[in-house]
Structure 1
Amino acid sequence: MKPNRTLGCCLVLAGLLGGLPTVARAQVHVFSGLRHDSSTGLARWLGDITLSAQIEGGIMANPARPQPGYNYGDFLADHANQVQLNQAEFTLNKAIDPHRNTYQVGFTLEGMYGSDARYYQVLGISDREWNARYQLIPAQAHMDVHLPWLTRGGLDMQAGILQAPMGVEGLDPTSRPFYTLAYTSEYSVPFEHVGAMFNWHVTPMVDVTFGIDTGNQTSFGHADNNSAPAGYFGFNLNNLAHGKLRIVELSRVGPENSWRAIGHYEADHTQRFWNDISAYYQVNDRLSLTAEFNYLHDEGTRGIGARGQFAGVDAESFVSFLSYRINRDLTFNYRGEIYRDNNNAMVATFRGNNSYMEALAGTGGAVVPGPSASSHGTTYGEMTLGVSYRPQLGHHIGVFMLRPEIRFDRALNGTMPFNGGRNNGMFTFGGDAVIGF
């Protein structure tokens, strides 16, 4: 099954030439004729179902022209100096009203095609259907339920194929300030789950989050890379500092390694501990600040240290974001990150279109060579600067966004992972374009 790459590249080029980034996604009410029909509850429920579409494409140029052509440590813009269609997605949605503490049922169905899909597959669901750069995935497919239980805020539940809640930067390009992702967002938070998530609104200030799933990007039975579940627990602190500050903490624990790599018993009993805390502070109408700290420890992944081979690897990171709104349409964005890969076991660039998922399954996965696992760990520094141009166009265009950026990456302690192992630093520039209806 071959995707039409010419059509995809034409769409991307058209977006880049025309300019692009946004407001909020436009939505079409699928059953709009039923919205004001109060004859049945079903008619009212159907009347709030919406359909939206969004296209994103971009390029990150690398003057060093790395061989074999990859920007090391970059997932979404991994192919240096090449325009690509990142996402073309359609979403059918029946949203839950957060202001009504009554029984409610909704759903989200999102299908996505593009190069980003290579990294957001789920084992056993979509990972073996495509082998090209542009792939197709069910990015979301979940039932949403609100239950007016326990407290005045009630309990929200999502069950099905879920996008992972941990971390600041998400898959939707309109939810993050940059085209490229931080190291933390690529290597130290999960991407997709099959399971159930719960959010309990304890008080207007406190939410409690918990959930259970089959693992990061796995499903059931033979499609799981081990036989044990994993799960989340954490909390949100809302409306702090007179409504200017919000803090989100999420932790996750469970086996995440493949039995093919370390054996059945080890895969089921060695845990991965993910911990992420972020703070969002709205200084004023123009300036907002975000800080994220992440710590990951894996008991099953093997590393090399000064005393030889050992089980267990660690990664710690800190990411800071600044966003300043220059005027109604233009926003300046900054991101700075320090990411410590203690055993050179986390950061990698996957060379084949299916290599990332093959590595997750434990069946292989070709990578672009980085720092040797036998050397000391690597501390990565990354700074990204950019602007978001978001004009309000109307006429059924809900998202129109153009985001140029420049990015500086550097290994801060002597290793040389960039540009085919030739340099300890990398400079890239480019950006993306997004249009949504």
Structure 2
Amino acid sequence: MQQHMARHLQWRNATRFLKETSFMRHALASILLASASILASGAAQTAQAAQAAKWTDSIKLDAQLDGGFVINGNTPDNGVNFGQLFTDRSNQATLNQAALTLHRDIDSTSKGYDFGFNLQLIYGSDVRYLPFLGEFNKMTSDRYKLVPLQANVAVHTPWLFEGGIDWKIGQYISPVGFETIDPATTPFYTHSYTFNFAVPFQHTGFLSVSHVSPMVDVYFGVNTGNFTTFAGGDNNSRPSGVFGFQFNNLMNGKLSVLALTNIGPEGASLALGPDVANSSLRFFDDIVIGYKATEKTTLTLELNYMRDEVMNAESFSTVGYFSHVFNDHWTFNARAEVFRDMDNFFIAGFKEANGGWKSIKGLSTPLITAPGPGTYGDLTLGVTWKPSLPKPIAGLMLRPEVRYDRSLNGAGSFVYSDTNPVGHNGQFLFAADAILQF
């Protein structure tokens, strides 16, 4: 049961300083309640400030659809693209996301208080791997599901530092990593191994970003863990957290560095027992280095390390990205990655649509695994086309790509199954998706 529980989705890593801080669970709840007082005190000051437009004028409602397909050259009998989560279904069309977002963005450069919020509902096959425990998990066992991915208030406070502090309080998307849940802000339809298996996706709690100077931002947050909320929506009784920094505008604005660490136990008490679940930590470190070589060419390097104490398992990965913008309509992207799953612990797939939230909860669910420890490499080439379209369409992105995955240590991880004990060492994927925005 312990082997099953932590094999996927990464309810991510931790540092030791939270191990003995059980009181922080109560502190987190107190912080969320205290946020109401922050909003009330700052609102009076905001109301007195002269503003050209009303606060409500900057509230926006956005809609976005993303769907695509993946053709697997191996034509696996189980219909699964091994090493993928969000694009795990081979040779069939998929509605990945239908997202509706009501939001007001804050002005992080404001010299006073500013207040916003973000409410986002997502329906689609991606939701299988974006659950919040206790929220719509048992609504359906179908492949297509619904989740309130974001429900938070945002506050800019002119406190302590030159640029003040930005806050998110509630359910929010993790800041860790380079690729994103939002398909419009990530370069490819398919995702890296690092994104699929080695970064946290979403949290419940608070996140602060202190703008110490134009060049330095400091991140700090406390949350209930990855994919979890409070009470019955949590899988253990200890908090997690995130901290790190971002360097901006280095080398005359060409270089940026984001280094974040996720903190806390992520195992389920139901599967591991309270003592093990609350004391066994997952350590996660991620660094993203971005370099703007020219006005149109950007290079990005992501370095990732993860360690899980439940099974004493580790993973390492390096991902490189190249992006060149030809014009307003065409962009070329390339990605190369090496991911080492040293203990055959992190990379796996689910056989059932409810496998994601069941695994987080600590319930049994059948898995698709590799035959042993593996070193995986992938190379992806693709283009993005953005045609000009009339209103009410805000944007359209078409993204064809070709991808090759390789089991670099000869483990035969692809198309491996109980009925096919000799897997393949390589896998060609031909994929494309369309993103429609309103």
| TM-score over 0.5 for the pair | yes
Matches within 5 A, 1:374-389: 377-389=373-385
Counterpart for residue 131 of structure 1:
141
**1:232-282 Cα shifts (integer Å, max 9, x gaps):** 110000000100111000011200011222211011011111100011111
Distance 1:339 1:73 in 2: 11
Q: 2:166 aligns with which of 138, 142, 156?
A: 156
Counterpart for residue 411 of structure 2:
415
Counterpart for residue 234 of structure 2:
224
**1:14-48 Cα shifts (integer Å, max 9, x gaps):** xxxxxxxxxxxxxxxxxxxxxxxx99989811121
Q: 1:399 aligns with which of 395, 400, 403?
A: 395
Q: 1:90 aligns with which of 100, 107, 111?
A: 100
Counterpart for residue 171 of structure 1:
181
**1:384-437 Cα shifts (integer Å, max 9, x gaps):** 110011123242322210000011111111211112342111111011100101
Matches within 5 A, 1:30-45: 44-45=54-55
**TM-score of the aligned structures, taking structure 1 as reference length:** 0.86
Distance 1:115 1:53 in 2: 17
With 363-372 and 213-222 compared, the bigger mean Cα shift is at 363-372
Distance 1:273 1:236 in 2: 19
What SS does the aligned partner of 2:252 have?
coil
Counterpart for residue 317 of structure 2:
317
Structure 1 residue identity aligned to 2:434: A
Matches within 5 A, 1:53-92: 53-92=63-102
Distance 1:360 1:82 in 2: 27
Deviation at 1:328, TM superposition (A): 2.7
Contact 1:67–1:420 (CA<8 Å) still a contact in 2? no
**1:269-328 Cα shifts (integer Å, max 9, x gaps):** 11111100011111112210000000001111x2xxxxxxxxx11000000000012233
With 331-340 and 118-127 compared, the bigger mean Cα shift is at 118-127
List, as ranges, runs of 4+ consecutive aligned residues in structure 1 with deviation greater than 3 Å. 38-43
Contact 1:154–1:201 (CA<8 Å) still a contact in 2? yes
Distance 1:219 1:249 in 2: 25
Deviation at 1:222, TM superposition (A): 2.7
Identity of aligned residues (%): 42
Q: 2:254 aligns with which of 240, 244, 249?
A: 244
CA 1:39–1:215 in 2, change beyond 3 Å: closer, same or farther?
Answer: closer
Distance 2:427 2:73 in 1: 9
Deviation at 1:93, TM superposition (A): 0.6
What SS does the aligned partner of 2:286 have?
strand
Counterpart for residue 265 of structure 1:
275
Counterpart for residue 189 of structure 1:
199
What SS does the aligned partner of 1:416 have?
coil
Counterpart for residue 9 of structure 1:
none
In the alignment, structure 2 segments of 5+ residues that lack a partner are 1-47, 418-422
Deviation at 1:121, TM superposition (A): 0.8
Deviation at 1:60, TM superposition (A): 0.5
Matches within 5 A, 1:94-109: 94-109=104-119
**1:84-135 Cα shifts (integer Å, max 9, x gaps):** 1001111101110123121111100011110011111111123222211110
Deviation at 1:369, TM superposition (A): 3.4
Counterpart for residue 212 of structure 2:
202
Deviation at 1:151, TM superposition (A): 1.5
Distance 2:368 2:161 in 1: 51
CA 1:43–1:389 in 2, change beyond 3 Å: closer, same or farther?
Answer: closer
Distance 2:285 2:114 in 1: 31
What SS does the aligned partner of 2:317 have?
strand
Distance 2:171 2:161 in 1: 27
Distance 2:156 2:50 in 1: 20
Contact 1:54–1:89 (CA<8 Å) still a contact in 2? yes
Counterpart for residue 349 of structure 1:
349
Distance 1:51 1:340 in 2: 41
Counterpart for residue 142 of structure 1:
152
Structure 1 residue identity aligned to 2:426: G
Distance 2:161 2:250 in 1: 20
Counterpart for residue 59 of structure 2:
49
Contact 1:235–1:248 (CA<8 Å) still a contact in 2? yes
CA 1:159–1:276 in 2, change beyond 3 Å: closer, same or farther?
Answer: same
With 219-228 and 265-274 compared, the bigger mean Cα shift is at 219-228
Contact 1:68–1:420 (CA<8 Å) still a contact in 2? no
Counterpart for residue 293 of structure 1:
303
Contact 1:118–1:134 (CA<8 Å) still a contact in 2? yes
**TM-score of the aligned structures, taking structure 2 as reference length:** 0.86
Q: Does 1:369 align with 2:369?
A: yes
Distance 2:49 2:156 in 1: 23
In the alignment, structure 1 segments of 5+ residues that lack a partner are 1-37, 303-311
What SS does the aligned partner of 1:56 have?
strand
Aligned residues: 386
* RMSD of aligned residue pairs (Cα, Å): 1.7
